[in-house]
Amino acid sequence: MEINYSIKVYKQYFNFSAAHFLVYEESREFLHGHNYKVSIKGDSLALHDDKVFDFLDVKPVVKKVCDSLDHKLLLPSENQWLAISEDGNSYNVNSKCDDSRFSFPKSDALLLPFPNISAERLAMYISKRVYELIAAEFDFKFSALEVEVEETPGQAAIYVLRGDL
């Protein structure tokens, strides 16, 4: 697919702070957090009213997605080495690799449908959410949407969503 036009948007407020840990068969990272930064690049094969997409419309959508992740513990609901159960207003999390146990208020945690919470998975999640929200609200679809999630300065993951979901 030939790309003719692109917009790139990165604002200081495209950020979120979140905690996570990676879990594998034989190991679990310590619970820790990052101050993530997000940027997006949207491609289009043609201009619409002399632009790819209005910057004023894309910024609140990206901010909304970032805000939904902010100040949350991000938990992978599809990790085979974690058992996550609900108990009233809490999530109970048991790690099968080291038998550690946690309990978190549901209001502080967010379950995401991944085997692990990595910068790569977060870039994929954010790109899909931004794409879906823009399609629903503005009836517009980027031909490709690239999302970069910086975990720490100089260390980022990029996901490129191409075409229709």
C-beta of residue 62 within 8 angstroms of C-beta of residue 38: yes
Tell me the pLDDT band of 35, cut-offs 50, 70 and 90.
Answer: very high
pTM: 0.94
- Residue 113: φ, ψ to 5°: -80, 65
The pLDDT of 11-17, averaged and rounded, is 98
The Cα-based distances of 151 to 3, 9, 17, 68, 155 in angstroms read 28, 18, 10, 17, 6
Tell me the pLDDT band of 147, cut-offs 50, 70 and 90.
Answer: very high
Tens digit of pLDDT for each residue in 68-88?
Answer: 999 999 999 999 999 999 999
The pLDDT of 46-64, averaged and rounded, is 95
Of all residues in the chain, the percent with pLDDT exceeding 90 is 93
Q: What are the chain's domains? A: 5-81+109-162 (3.30.479.10)
